[in-house]
């Protein structure tokens, strides 16, 4: 939206309502190009004619996805061009503008373009508040940083958005937010059973809430019930706290990678770190019988993980770091 504040927010509602209204009133048309080149000009003409004295306009990226043909039809009305990343993490396309911003003047022309989405392709759309996000020194995040951040291989759109949100937040630090930050991602799965999410964060206690939130939201995406979700949140909390406080004790915080995958009737959570080796089989067995005043310290976190998981495996290699693999079977 042009401008900021309450006035701009109210016009955003007007634009959104018009998009929905004109989208529903398409007279049974099924040709996506014809639909787009009808809806967008109609919205533009209405705003430019009805609200011309307000001098308000909006940039819009408006797309229609045809799953049967894996085709994304779109009109980019003056918006920041969305990026398309292929399954190798390389930039496949940039969806440039196909017309001006909406609301400047009536009878403007808008072209509709299309993109065939191959397996693994990912589209990221965003507002300019992402690339313009300022750090305490006033330096923007930049489009170059955005492209660099999204060039990694992400197993899901959810994984990309979480990682990018962290990168932008890390850049901003404690500076006042410069503009709105909105992101939308769309990814074509490599296979119908492809359901995996991952994130890598520095191993600090300050990042624990984001790790828990990531697991909770990933479980929500996988449509797991509350009991299974709570089990994985507990496991992440216990395992990552130990990695941070013991594995990286006395050294700079290294990375902690979380990867959760749904396959058939089981969910697997992999936790990777580069700290000291910590073999669960060599830990103190938790004392669950004594009174709490007499209970010896140690082993309780692993005991709790064992209670909520069906299988625990641990691997440690000097070249690859440590990998804790937790599996939970799903009941029928």
How do residues 195-229 score in pLDDT, each as one tens digit?
899 999 999 999 999 999 999 999 999 999 999 99
Write down the pLDDT at residue 295: 53
Extract the tokens encoding 135.
């750090």
Task: Give the Cα separation of 80 and 74 in Å (integer).
Answer: 13
- Asked if residue 25 belongs to a domain, the reply is no
Task: Give the Cα separation of 213 and 209 in Å (integer).
Answer: 6
- Asked if residue 325 belongs to a domain, the reply is yes
Extract the tokens encoding 76.
């980019």
| For range 80-105, the mean pLDDT | 93
Name the residue range of residue 252's domain.
Answer: 196-329
Write down the pLDDT at residue 52: 79
| For range 269-290, the mean pLDDT | 75
Extract the tokens encoding 261.
């995958």
Secondary structure (3-state) at 181: coil
Task: Give the Cα separation of 138 and 310 in Å (integer).
Answer: 50
Q: How much is the mean pLDDT over the chain?
A: 89
Please give the helix or strand (H or E) that residue 84 lies within, else none: strand 83-85
Write down the pLDDT at residue 282: 64
Q: Alpha-carbon dihedral of residues 308, 189, 37, 110, nearest 10 degrees? A: 100
Ordered strands of the 266-273 beta sheet: 196-202, 255-263, 266-273, 321-329, 311-317
CB 132 within 8 A of CB 141: yes
Task: Give the Cα separation of 35 and 41 in Å (integer).
Answer: 10
DSSP letter assigned to residue 314: E
| For range 276-280, the mean pLDDT | 78
- Asked if residue 120 belongs to a domain, the reply is no
CB 220 within 8 A of CB 156: no
Categorize the per-residue pLDDT at 27 as very low, low, confident or very high, splitting at 50, 70 and 90: low
| For range 274-286, the mean pLDDT | 72
Residue 250, pLDDT > 70, answer yes
Query: How many Cβ atoms are within 10 Å of 98's Cβ, its own excluded?
Result: 20
Write down the pLDDT at residue 268: 96
Where do we find the tokens 């001006």? 100
- Asked if residue 128 belongs to a domain, the reply is no
The model's pLDDT over 281-321, given as tens digits with 9 standing for 90+, comes to: 666 565 556 665 555 555 577 888 989 999 999 999 888 89
Phi, psi (5° rounding) for residue 231? -65, -45
The model's pLDDT over 123-174, given as tens digits with 9 standing for 90+, comes to: 999 999 999 999 999 999 999 999 888 888 889 999 999 999 999 999 999 9
Which residues in 127-188 belong to E strands, given as ranges?
183-187
- Asked if residue 84 belongs to a domain, the reply is no
Task: Single out the residue of 226, 215, 328 nearest to residue 268, CA to CA.
Answer: 328
Secondary structure (3-state) at 41: helix
- Asked if residue 126 belongs to a domain, the reply is no
Secondary structure (3-state) at 72: strand
Task: Give the Cα separation of 274 and 255 in Å (integer).
Answer: 7
Write down the pLDDT at residue 289: 60
Task: Single out the residue of 216, 84, 103 nearest to residue 160, CA to CA.
Answer: 84
Residue 71, pLDDT > 90, answer yes
- Asked if residue 4 belongs to a domain, the reply is no
Write down the pLDDT at residue 73: 96
Where do we find the tokens 């990777």? 272
- Asked if residue 39 belongs to a domain, the reply is no
Write down the pLDDT at residue 76: 98
CATH of the domain at 275: 3.30.565.10
**In the structure, how many helices (H) and strands (E) does the chain have?**
8, 12
Categorize the per-residue pLDDT at 280 as very low, low, confident or very high, splitting at 50, 70 and 90: low
* Overall number of domains in the chain: 1
Beta strand 91-94 pairing with 60-66? unpaired
Extract the tokens encoding 96.
């440039």
| For range 176-191, the mean pLDDT | 89
Task: Single out the residue of 64, 121, 61 nearest to residue 90, CA to CA.
Answer: 121
Categorize the per-residue pLDDT at 31 as very low, low, confident or very high, splitting at 50, 70 and 90: confident
Per residue in 191-215, is it b (16+ CB within 10 Å) or e — as a string? eeebbbbbbebebeeebbeebbebb
Task: Give the Cα separation of 210 and 105 in Å (integer).
Answer: 45
């Amino acid at each position: 939206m042009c401008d900021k504040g309450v006035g701009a927010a109210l016009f955003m509602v007007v634009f959104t309502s018009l998009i929905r209204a004109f989208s529903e009133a398409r007279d049974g048309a099924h040709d996506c190009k014809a639909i787009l080149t009808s809806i967008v000009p109609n919205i533009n003409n209405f705003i430019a004619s009805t609200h011309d004295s307000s001098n308000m306009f909006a940039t819009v990226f408006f797309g229609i996805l045809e799953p049967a043909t894996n085709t994304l039809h779109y009109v980019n009305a003056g918006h920041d061009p969305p990026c398309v990343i292929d399954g190798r993490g390389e930039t496949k396309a940039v969806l440039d503008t196909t017309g001006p911003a909406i609301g400047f003047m009536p009878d403007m022309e808008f072209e509709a373009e299309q993109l065939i989405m191959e397996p693994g392709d990912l589209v990221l759309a965003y507002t300019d508040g992402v690339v313009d996000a300022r750090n305490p020194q006033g330096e923007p995040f930049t489009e170059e940083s955005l492209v660099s951040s999204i060039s990694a291989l992400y197993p899901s759109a959810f994984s990309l958005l979480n990682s990018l949100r962290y990168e932008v937040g890390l850049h901003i630090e404690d500076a006042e937010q410069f503009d709105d930050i909105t992101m939308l991602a769309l990814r074509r799965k490599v296979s119908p059973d492809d359901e995996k999410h991952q994130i890598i964060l520095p191993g600090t206690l300050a990042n624990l809430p984001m790790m828990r939130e990531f697991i909770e939201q990933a479980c929500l995406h996988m449509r797991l019930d509350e009991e299974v979700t709570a089990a994985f949140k507990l496991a992440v909390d216990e395992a990552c706290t130990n990695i941070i406080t013991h594995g990286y004790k006395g050294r700079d915080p290294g990375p902690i990678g979380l990867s959760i995958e749904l396959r058939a009737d089981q969910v697997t959570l992999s936790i990777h770190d580069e700290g000291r080796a910590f073999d669960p089989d060599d830990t103190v067995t938790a004392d669950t019988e004594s009174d709490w005043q007499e209970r010896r310290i140690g082993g309780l976190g692993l005991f709790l993980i064992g209670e909520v998981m069906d299988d625990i495996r641990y691997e440690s290699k000097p070249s690859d770091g440590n990998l804790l693999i937790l599996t939970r079977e799903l009941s029928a």
